[in-house]
Amino acid sequence: MIEVNHLVKSYGKYQAVKDISFRVEEGEVLGFLGPNGAGKSTTMNVITGYLSATSGEVKIAGYDILQHPTEAKKHIGYLPEIPPVYGDMTVREYLQFVSELKGVKKSEQKAMLEDIMDKIKISHVAGKMIRNLSKGYRQRVGLAQALVGYPDVLILDEPTVGLDPKQIMEIRDVIRELGKTHTIILSSHILSEVSAVCNRVMILNKGQIVASDTPERLSSRLSENRYLVRIKGEEEAVLAAFAACPDFSQVQKMDQVEPGTAELLVVGKDGMDVREQIFRLAVACDFVLLLCKSEKLSLEDIFLRLTEGDGLPEAEEREADQSAQKEGQTHESHL
């Protein structure tokens, strides 16, 4: 449905987007995740034809956005970061204007607008001037605008920003509902949102894709065989015993949760499953094992791990190694 090939966008010397390629299949909900300035909005602006790419191509439903802009744009509904609404129009007038822009047939217009306002729950403010609406409602009007003409692709740039928690839930439900019938790209820096709504997450940093997968797999891929272990006993002694075991590549002391216990984060060598080794070690040293659970990285952790530093996957591994070494040193100093 959406095809982006080797997209580069530079502003003068600064490259906002550096050679990005990806595809979004029909019915997929893709989440762009990234810190501010990662190139999310720029990418969206290029996909929707608001900006032109420095190089590379964008195809929407098979139409190149630069060569066949009219055809391509017919398939797109776009909610930019700042909803493009006119304060001096009422909600209904505005949506009528948008439907005329998008060339909706006069006969279908009324029913379509009623349906959309109903879906987004803005029917009761239809007669109000947009400048008198709160930020949340403006955002909704912006979303309604994207739906006008029932495009099959929706590009939503931070659709829930500035909304209160209840509104966020509502908009998320709307997006989830829309995701059943539309191809959606949405951007956000709220991670729970992305994992709640999207089938696939793409993490962008400094204009590059640093990871792209389903939220679950992304989370498990980066957190394989990390175990949180709680052992009854004196902290220093437990730590020393674990650190001495050759099966673990990393042993990290965590904050104590229960008094009289030691809390450790253990990582197996070469990503090995070390639950058994943990148990045997505990038995051998006569420790009481209170807890041993696989520690999943939350999307937040992944996000931070991927976007801190220079974010390249190889670099990211090196960094992890370095931090492991550093932890090893601190752990030695503990001894």
Contacts to another protein by CB under 8 A = 11, 45, 48-52, 69-71, 73-74, 76, 78, 80, 82, 84-89, 93, 97-98, 100-103, 145
Count CB-CB contacts under 10 A for residue 317. 10
Between 80 and 233, CB nearer to another protein: 80
Exposed/middle/buried for residue 16 (C-beta within 10 Å: 0-12, 13-18, 19+): buried
What the block records as the tokens of 284 is 């051998």
Between 136 and 328, CB nearer to another protein: 136
Between 109 and 212, CB nearer to another protein: 109
194, containing H or E segment: helix 191-197
Between 51 and 285, CB nearer to another protein: 51
Between 31 and 142, CB nearer to another protein: 142
CB of 68 to another protein, least distance (A): 10
H-helix segments, 60-133: 69-74, 91-101, 106-120
CB of 134 to another protein, least distance (A): 17
> What's the N-to-C CA distance of the chain in angstroms?
58
CB of 44 to another protein, least distance (A): 10
CB of 238 to another protein, least distance (A): 58
CB of 69 to another protein, least distance (A): 8
Between 71 and 114, CB nearer to another protein: 71
Q: Report helix angle 106-120 to 91-101, nearest 10.
A: 130
Determine the residue type at 46. Answer: V
CB of 21 to another protein, least distance (A): 21
Between 65 and 218, CB nearer to another protein: 65
Q: E strands along the chain, which residues?
A: 2-11, 14-24, 29-33, 55-60, 63-64, 76-79, 153-157, 183-188, 200-205, 208-213, 226-232, 248-253, 261-268, 288-294
Tell me the C-alpha distance between 186 and 189, whole Å: 10
Tell me the C-alpha distance between 114 and 218, whole Å: 40
CB of 252 to another protein, least distance (A): 47
